[in-house]
Amino acid sequence: MKNLKHIINAILGVSLVCSSVTSFASSAKSTVDERPNILVILTDDMGYADVGFNGSTDIKTPTLDALAEKGTTFTAAYNVHPFCGPSRAGLMTGRYPHKFGSQFNLPRSSRAGGLGIPLEETYISKVLQDAGYFTGAVGKWHLGEKPEFHPNNRGFDEFYGFLNGGHDYFPSKFKAKYDKDVERGFNHAIFGYLKPLERNGKEVEEKEYVTDGLSREAVSFIEKAGEDKKQPFFLYLAYNAPHSPMQAKQEDMAQFPEITDKKRKVYAGMVYAVDRGVKRVVESLKATGQYENTLIVFLSDNGGKPKLGADNAPLRGRKGSAYEGGSRTPMFFHWPKQPISGKIFTHPVSTLDFYPTFAELARATIPEKKKLDGKRLFNHIMSDTNPRGDEMLYFMRHRKGFSEVSGVKNNWKVANISGNKWQLFNLANDIGETKDLSAKYPNMVREMVAELEDWSWTHPQPLWFHIHEEGVQWREMAMPRFHETFKVTN
């Protein structure tokens, strides 16, 4: 990672994306690199109302709440997609995953069927690595498992975690099951959630509750980064909590004696373990002198599943939905060195925006041919202006024989959830999408639907399907059937 190019970049800050960035990250004229560290903390399937800073009344998240209070909280932050794989693909590539055939989760089969996010989509991690950042990914990957799709080959110097879409939490249990399957001669047939974790491609034996193991590894990365202040770091800490399987430590659940619902209690314990982990991470940033100049971004990858104990209130819908509950996520930015403390940012932002925003902060060069769908956020945070003006944010999730689609433009939201009826909501006073205003503003519906339709024609056929049967249905039903999706009958 420390080749000559990196060192030159670090010292001279030569690869400017845009000169205006100097207002956010001091010009690196000295030998000390003053570009910020960037730490993304992603939770998995966490509901809108499942952290204190975003309205939870029963789940305690003291560390996250304290960071949110001292940072900028986003009230209209969106994931690119309402479930895991495409959401993460959007974050890493800065593009709608629909545009490069990655609309579905990778196949559930062993080794993800050998598939992964197309290599021509340069990840933000690679751009930051090339700009001289020390880069690490800890936790869930879910973007391809073959060597060419591995984090170490997509811009991460260090990786600790697991490559598939989830993992069991208690090593004593998952290791016993795994050992039994190995004894039975299984290899390809072993469920990915039971497999050993890995470090840079080599299997390791994780001995801690997985959330604690990931926190430990994040701390270890931060300590390593702290040894050489000349090189800023980018850490992508992707906790699988509170994604299923629902498994919490007794001591974490004991934090919530007032929660009587069993599912909610387990879920609360899993979220609390993340908060404990973030506390350790913050302490390590302080201990290594990196706290002041680290941008911490916290969010979930998509909405929660109420049947597993999550709460998306006051939003309508849940994980997988094109209603707000699918993609609107609690989010904050925290960065002591910048005056963003105490701000509440209400304009719509997307994880698509991370790529150009981080590249700007790092004064990194984005490959000339790289296409991006996001916006640079910092000027807008400082001036409290809408990063995308009248541009729409698009959401599309394919179902059996139809698609759930929605679009958000300023405060307006148009949505087709059932496949045959368009609704219109004013999110400014109806965040819960309860009052359909489509009959009152038919022209606005037509205009917004037409814009969504234009966007949809940029999508190639999906490169894969999560479940084989989905692919069969897709072909048999002549999907995507956009001629039906974008018909406005009301």
Shortest Cβ 267–Ca ion spacing (Å): 14
Instruction: Say how many C-beta atoms besides its own lie within 10 A of residue 400's C-beta.
Output: 11
Segment interacting with Ca ion (CB under 5 A) among 13-21, 38-46, 144-152, 260-268? 38-46
Please state whether beta strands 37-43 and 233-238 pair in parallel, antiparallel, or not at all (unpaired): parallel
Note whether 168 binds Ca ion by CB under 5 A: no
Please state whether beta strands 344-345 and 72-78 pair in parallel, antiparallel, or not at all (unpaired): parallel
Query: CA 169 to CA 194: how far, in whole Å?
Result: 9
Segment interacting with Ca ion (CB under 5 A) among 68-76, 177-185, 246-254, 301-309? 301-309
DSSP 162: E
Do 95 and 372 form a contact (C-beta atoms < 8 A)? yes
Shortest Cβ 253–Ca ion spacing (Å): 22
Shortest Cβ 271–Ca ion spacing (Å): 14
Question: Bridge partners of 139?
Answer: 161, 238
Cβ proximity to Ca ion: between 80 and 381 the closer is 80
Which of these is catalytic: 6, 81, 98, 142?
Answer: 142
Reply yes or no on whether 167 is catalytic: no
Q: How far is CA 345 from CA 72, 80, 334, 353, 384, in A?
A: 7, 18, 13, 14, 7
Cβ proximity to Ca ion: between 95 and 142 the closer is 142
Residue nearest Ca ion, CB atom distance: 84
Among 17, 38, 44, 357, binds Ca ion (CB under 5 A): 44
Which of these is catalytic: 6, 81, 84, 98?
Answer: 84
Do 79 and 87 form a contact (C-beta atoms < 8 A)? yes
Q: How far is CA 444 from CA 74, 154, 272, 307, 376, in A?
A: 26, 42, 43, 35, 28
DSSP collapsed to 3 states, 238-273 = ECCCCCCCCCCCHHHHCCCCCCCCHHHHHHHHHHHH
Instruction: Say how many C-beta atoms besides its own lie within 10 A of residue 99's C-beta.
Output: 17
Sheet holding 402-409, edge to edge: 393-399, 402-409, 412-416, 422-426
Shortest Cβ 366–Ca ion spacing (Å): 27
Cβ proximity to Ca ion: between 168 and 301 the closer is 301
Task: For the chain, give the number of residues.
Answer: 490
Query: CA 51 to CA 200: how far, in whole Å?
Result: 32
Crossing angle (nearest 10°) for helices 354-361 and 84-93: 30
Cβ proximity to Ca ion: between 130 and 301 the closer is 301
Note whether 50 binds Ca ion by CB under 5 A: no
Note whether 301 binds Ca ion by CB under 5 A: yes
Among 302, 329, 357, 485, binds Ca ion (CB under 5 A): 302
Shortest Cβ 326–Ca ion spacing (Å): 10
Among 17, 39, 84, 297, binds Ca ion (CB under 5 A): 84
Instruction: Say how many C-beta atoms besides its own lie within 10 A of residue 71's C-beta.
Output: 24
Reply yes or no on whether 459 is catalytic: no
How many residues bind Ca ion, per CB under 5 A? Answer: 5
Cβ proximity to Ca ion: between 37 and 105 the closer is 105
Note whether 311 binds Ca ion by CB under 5 A: no
Tell me the helix, strand and coil percentages in the chain, rounded to 5: 35, 15, 50
Segment interacting with Ca ion (CB under 5 A) among 84-92, 104-112, 186-194, 426-434? 84-92
Do 86 and 80 form a contact (C-beta atoms < 8 A)? yes
Shortest Cβ 87–Ca ion spacing (Å): 6
Cβ proximity to Ca ion: between 140 and 459 the closer is 140
Segment interacting with Ca ion (CB under 5 A) among 44-52, 100-108, 290-298, 333-341? 44-52
Cβ proximity to Ca ion: between 10 and 396 the closer is 396
Cβ proximity to Ca ion: between 140 and 375 the closer is 140
Segment interacting with Ca ion (CB under 5 A) among 18-26, 79-87, 269-277, 385-393? 79-87
Note whether 45 binds Ca ion by CB under 5 A: yes
List the catalytic residues: 84, 142
* Positions in the binding site for Ca ion (CB under 5 A): 44-45, 84, 301-302
